[in-house]
Each structure stands twice: as C-alpha cells, then as structure tokens.
Amino acid sequence: MALTAGIVGLPNVGKSTLFNAITKKNILAANYPFATIDPNVGIVTVPDKRVSTLEEMYMPERCIPTTYEFTDIAGLVKGASKGEGLGNKFLSHIREVDAVVEVVRCFDDENVIHVDGSVDPIRDIEVINVELIMSDLEIIDNRIGKIEKKALTTKNKDDLKELNLLKRLKESLESGIPARKLEFDEDEEKILRGFKLITQKPIIYVANVREIDIHNKGNLYVNKVIDYSKKENSEVVMICAKIESELAELNDDEKEIFLSELEIEESGLDQLIKKTYSLLGLATYFTVGSDEVRAWTFRKGMKAPECAGIIHSDFEKGFIRAEVISYDDLIDAGSEVKAKENGKVRLEGKDYIMQDGDICHFRFNV
C-alpha cells in the first residue's frame, strides 16, 4: 500500500527546492532513500528505525522499507482551475493522491520575489484552497447537470440521494468550505469515492522557513499558519527547504552528523512523512526471514486477511492464520526462538485486527 501525497504551492514559496531535494537524480533508488521515477513524481523511504534493527537481527539478503510517493503539482497559480498557468494540467494528478501537502512561504527575502509582492502565508493558503475548491466544484456541477433531470423525473431513490448529496456539497464549496469539513454517512462516502474530490483529502501545511527559524522553533508567519490549521484540524510541519536540499546529498551517517551539528533531532521531510502517516491512520507491519526483511503499510483497523492481501491477493483468498510477534516482544526476547519459548508468538485468525509493529508469518492455501 504505497502512500502518495501531492505537493502544491504558489511560485517562489520553496516548493521546487523541496521537491528537487526529494528527487535528486544522481542517487539510485536501490541504495538510497531518494529517487526519481518520472519528471514530476519522486519516492522516499519511510523513516523507521525498526527496519534497521530487524535487518541486524536477521541479516537478510535484502531489506525493503515501505515508501512514500510525492507528486509535484507544477505551476499552480491563481486562476489555475480556469486554465491559468500550468496548474489545470496537473490538477487531475492530485485526485489520485492520499493527502495534499501545501508548501507555504514563511520567510522574508528581498532576493526572492513573491508572486503577489509580499509575504502573507494565510493569503497564499487561501489562494491555493480556492483553486482546489473551484476544481472540485466544476466536477460537482457537471455531475448535477447529468443526473438532476433524470432523478427528479424518475424519483429513483439512489439518484435522489446522490443529487441531494451533490447539492449539499455544491453549497458548501461555493461558501468556501472544503469537503473534508463535512460529515458523510457510509452510503455517501461510497458515492463520493468515484469523484476523488481534492478538498476531501487531508491536508498538511509545510511552512518553509530560513535556517535560523528552525533553531528558533518558528516565527510569526509559522504561528499564523498553525493558528489557521487548528481551525480545520490540519497539521503543520516546519521545514527549511534549503537544509532538506543539502541533506539529500548525504548518506545516512553523514545526514546524522549534519543534523547533530545543526542541533536538529529529525529532518523536516521525516517529520512530514510521520505526520502524514498519523493523519491518514496508517501503521506498519513486518515480514522477516533470512531472505528478506520488509515493512508493509496498512490502514489501522484492517484485519489480518486484508493485510495479508497487501502482499498478494492469494494470501487473502486462502488465508488460514497468522503467526504474530509484536516488535517489542521480539526485541525483548532477543530472537524468534526465545520469543516462542516465552510464549510471545501468537496464532491469530481471520478476525484479528493488525497492530503497528506486528511481525507476521502468514499461512494460506489456494
């Protein structure tokens, strides 16, 4: 289950610097956490120290962390939803992502011109959000135009339910309220799934700051973004795109030294990934062995057969049971053999709800 996020932002807010840090073309995906898979998509590994610990324990032939994919929504400017700039070309891409990452400029620099002449993060956020709302509104209006007459004429129950839902959404969007702020029942969620509304997706604001602001834990611009985000239950991550660009050039050991010298505990990119995981309700389970140690992403609340199906559909179809050890129990025991001796290996059936850190051996028969 690959996690995907779409990066949006106005020109000169640091979006390109951040995205370029993610997609350094001189670094190979096989050996390092950053790679480019096409001109506007980049992948990074999800930071998880448990993977390294399991690798040391099992000494596998290969070790595969789970990944996080970024899509760069290039050229998004005021009027993008009406064809201005290049934004309308890429708005369709963002419909396929799990979360929206909105980069906001939170620094003054007379050498970096702002598209609107001054730095105002809240104004920038609202410009972008209006474009995303307008894009969704166009989809809603088109659908209403197609089904309204039929629904009112035939009085079909399902068509009327969809029409009423769309009209409620239209009213909300026209009032500047994104779909994620509304509540929907299970049937409505099913209807909306096919529309892939951008404003229904969770959003994380990336406050791009100068290096000194990282040390100072923020500035007045960042505080404004935090206050704004609280009103819509969104997350904020403070990042210095320049630092992230420098970190992207380093291997893991060099990166750790560099962060230590800057007195930074964790890179902004790592914080962004972790917050997105939390926002989307995601967790990680592991499969281990001498051939491979691998991390797998799943949604909290998923049962064992569904999680087995992430590996291969046959695992879910023929699921018998799962042998499960929690990561903490394995580390405390020191080995799988000791964990079994301590009674920490469990046999779980089809109704078992997977937990973050579960280490699994799935049994199946197809």
Query: Tens of pLDDT along the chain (366 residues)?
Result: 667 888 888 877 888 788 888 776 433 334 344 444 555 788 888 889 999 999 999 999 999 998 888 888 765 656 655 555 444 555 777 888 899 999 999 998 877 666 666 889 999 999 888 888 998 999 999 999 999 999 999 999 999 999 999 999 999 999 999 999 999 999 999 999 999 999 999 999 999 999 999 988 899 999 999 999 998 888 999 999 889 988 988 888 898 899 998 888 889 988 988 888 888 889 999 999 999 999 999 999 999 999 999 999 999 999 999 999 999 999 999 999 999 999 999 999 999 999 999 999 999 997
Beta-carbon-side half-sphere exposure of residue 188 (alpha carbons within 13 Å): 15
Q: What span, in angstroms and rounded, lies between the C-alpha atoms of 176 and 136?
A: 11
Q: Which residues neighbour 36 within 8 Å (Cβ) at sequence distance 6 or greater? A: 23, 24, 25, 42
Q: What span, in angstroms and rounded, lies between the C-alpha atoms of 219 and 104?
A: 13
Asked if residue 292 lies in contact with residue 311, where contact means CB atoms within 8 angstroms, the answer is: no
The three-class DSSP label of residue 196 is coil
pLDDT value, residue 274: 87
Asked if residue 269 lies in contact with residue 21, where contact means CB atoms within 8 angstroms, the answer is: yes
Residue given tokens 């914080």 in the structure block: 271
Tabulate helix, strand, coil % of the chain (nearest 5). Answer: 45, 20, 35
Asked if residue 283 lies in contact with residue 356, where contact means CB atoms within 8 angstroms, the answer is: yes
Residue given tokens 């609202």 in the structure block: 126
Q: What span, in angstroms and rounded, lies between the C-alpha atoms of 76 and 115?
A: 12
- Chain-centroid distance of CA 146 in Å reads 33
Sign, CA dihedral 54-57-58-61, equals positive
- Chain-centroid distance of CA 334 in Å reads 33
Residue given tokens 């750790």 in the structure block: 256
pLDDT value, residue 1: 66
Instruction: Give all strands (DSSP E) within the chain, no chain letters.
Output: 3-8, 34-38, 41-45, 62-64, 67-72, 99-105, 203-208, 235-239, 282-287, 292-299, 319-326, 346-348, 358-364
Closest CA to 13 of 266, 231, 226, 221: 221
Q: Dihedral, CA atoms, 272, 278, 279, 283, nearest 10 degrees?
A: 110
Q: Which residues neighbour 304 within 8 Å (Cβ) at sequence distance 6 or greater? A: 319, 321, 322, 324, 348, 349, 350, 351, 352, 353, 354, 360, 362
Which two three-digit tokens encode residue 177? 């309220």
Asked if residue 316 lies in contact with residue 305, where contact means CB atoms within 8 angstroms, the answer is: yes
Q: What span, in angstroms and rounded, lies between the C-alpha atoms of 155 and 150?
A: 8
The three-class DSSP label of residue 208 is strand
Asked if residue 80 lies in contact with residue 187, where contact means CB atoms within 8 angstroms, the answer is: no
Instruction: Give all strands (DSSP E) within 14-172, no chain letters.
Output: 34-38, 41-45, 62-64, 67-72, 99-105
Is the overall model pTM greater than 0.85, yes or no?
A: no
> Radius of gyration (Cα) for the chain, nearest Å?
23
Residue count of the chain? 366
Q: Which residues neighbour 136 within 8 Å (Cβ) at sequence distance 6 or greater? A: 169, 173, 179, 195, 197, 198, 199, 200
